[in-house]
Amino acid sequence: MTDEIIVKTKNLRRTFEFGETEVVALDKIDMEIRRGEFAVVLGPSGSGKTTLLNMIGGIDKPTKGKVEVDGKEITAYDKDKLNEYRRNDVGWIFQFFNIVASLRAWENVGLALEFKGGYKTPEIKKLSYEILKHVGLKGKEERFPSQLSGGEQQRVAIARALIKKPKIIVADEPTGNLDFVTGQKIAELMRNLNKEEKTTFIVVSHDLNITQYADRVFHLQMGKIEKIEEHPGTMVSNKVEG
Ligand SMILES: Nc1ncnc2c1ncn2[C@@H]1O[C@H](COP(=O)(O)OP(=O)(O)OP(=O)(O)O)[C@@H](O)[C@H]1O
Ligand SMILES: [Mg+2]
């Protein structure tokens, strides 16, 4: 891993108006994410984790400060450029999977390419099948979400985030809706994919368990980064499937 920086936040602040009061969700966030790293942002409920991911993922804009991704200031983008950034450069993984109930596993994965544009259906199907195999879902490509377990649904979501080869993958409590063992497997899968594909992962969670897979852990407390821990990230098995 090089120490090249892929995501940089500068003096980031986000406040929300709430009646007469102002809620400070994030303040003075200076963060540098290295290309290819598995970064975990750990913090309790309400510490600003989702707010931070929304800034980095281009879903929301800061009140103050800026976000640079791959040397470009995304916080200065207009609506069109921001849409393009979200479509092409960012893969999202959510706590409740956010996959479409009426679509088969491979179709859910293929959606990412449909949004990106320029792909024909047979190609989408082929690429989706390939990536589903990669996340351990060979033979389950034609199933609907209701015919998959929670852990399997999250694998579909991970495949959907990966298939467009984004610059970064951002994950908001990706194991939050899973039992301990399944959560562990999902964390391991993400970590292995991060190593294999060299995709940068930014994972936010309040789950201490996920930090064992991290290259670095950013501790978020009441909207501020309190400390940054370097981890060896040695808890990696060589297995992706299972
Ligand atoms: N749209 C909003 N309007 C007002 N306050 C908000 C809004 N969004 C977030 N907040 C506040 O900002 C703070 C940070 O919220 P955020 O959702 O980022 O926390 P979190 O760390 O993701 O929490 P959780 O672990 O519960 O998901 C909280 O105090 C929250 O109430
Ligand atoms: Mg949150």
What is the mean predicted confidence (pLDDT) over 197-210?
94
3-state helix, strand, coil in the chain (%, to 5): 35, 30, 35
**Rounded Cα–Cα distance for residues 22 and 164 (Å):** 38
The H or E element containing residue 50 is helix 49-56
> Closest Cα partner for 97 from 157, 148, 169?
157
Task: Identify the CA nearest to 128 among candidates 144, 109, 102, 103.
Answer: 109
Whole domain around residue 53: which residue ranges?
1-89+167-242
Q: In this structure, are 128 and 46 located in the same domain?
A: no
Where residue 238 falls among pLDDT bands split at 50, 70, 90? very low
For a pLDDT cut of 90, what percent of the chain falls above it?
Answer: 92
Residue 3 has what pLDDT?
66
In the reported structure, the alpha carbon of residue 106 is separated from the centroid of ligand 1 by a whole-number distance in angstroms of 33
Statement: residue 209 has pLDDT above 70: yes
CB atoms within 10 A of CB 86: 18
Over pLDDT 70: what percentage of the chain? 94
Q: Which ligand 1 atom sits nearest the alpha carbon of residue 53?
A: 18
For tokens 């500068």, name the residue.
10
Identify any residues that bridge with 241 across adjacent strands, giving them in sequence order. none
Give residue 239's pLDDT band: very low, low, confident or very high (50, 70, 90).
very low
Distance CA(106)–CA(217), nearest Å, equals 33
Q: Select from 23, 29, 202 the residue to mutate for testing ligand 1; criterion: most ligand atoms less than 8 Å from CB.
A: 23
Rounded Cα distance between 106 and 158, Å, is 12
Look at residue 18 in the predicted model and tell me its pLDDT: 86
Instruction: Using pLDDT thresholds of 50, 70 and 90, give the confidence band for residue 168.
Output: very high
4 & 83 share domain: yes
Q: Is 51 in the pocket of ligand 1 (CB under 6 A)?
A: yes
Domain boundary (141, 165, 189) is at 165
Cα 117 to middle of ligand 1, angstroms: 33
Examine the domain organization and report whether 85 and 111 are in the same domain: no
| Residue after which a domain boundary falls, among 131, 165, 199 | 165
Say how many domains are in the chain.
2
CA distance 170 to 157: 12
Q: What is the pLDDT at residue 242?
A: 40
Whether 221 is in the pocket of ligand 1, judged by its Cβ within 6 Å, is no
Neighbours of 205 (CB within 10 A): 24
d(CA 126, CA 158): 17
Task: Spell out the residues 6+ positions from residue 118 whose beta carbon is closer than 8 angstroms to its own.
Answer: none
pTM metric for this prediction: 0.93
Query: Distance from the CA of 199 to the center of ligand 1, in angstroms?
Result: 27
Please count the other Cβ atoms lying within 10 Å of the Cβ belonging to residue 61: 15
Does the C-beta of 208 come closer than 6 Å to ligand 1? no
pLDDT at 233: 56
C-alpha 16 – ligand 1 centre gap (Å): 9
Predicted confidence (pLDDT) at residue 241 exceeds the cutoff of 50: no
DSSP string, 76-140: G--HHHHHHHHHHTEEEE-TT----TTS-HHHHHHHHHHHH----HHHHHHHHHHHHHHTT-TT-
For the Cβ of 43 lying below 6 angstroms from any atom of ligand 1, the answer is yes
Q: Of the residues 165, 186, 206, which one is the last residue of a structural domain?
A: 165
Whether the pLDDT of residue 55 is over 80: the answer is: yes
60 lies in the same domain as 139: no
Per-residue tokens: 220: 């978020």
Residues, beta carbon < 5 Å, ion ligand 2? 49-50
Say whether both 149 and 189 belong to one domain. no
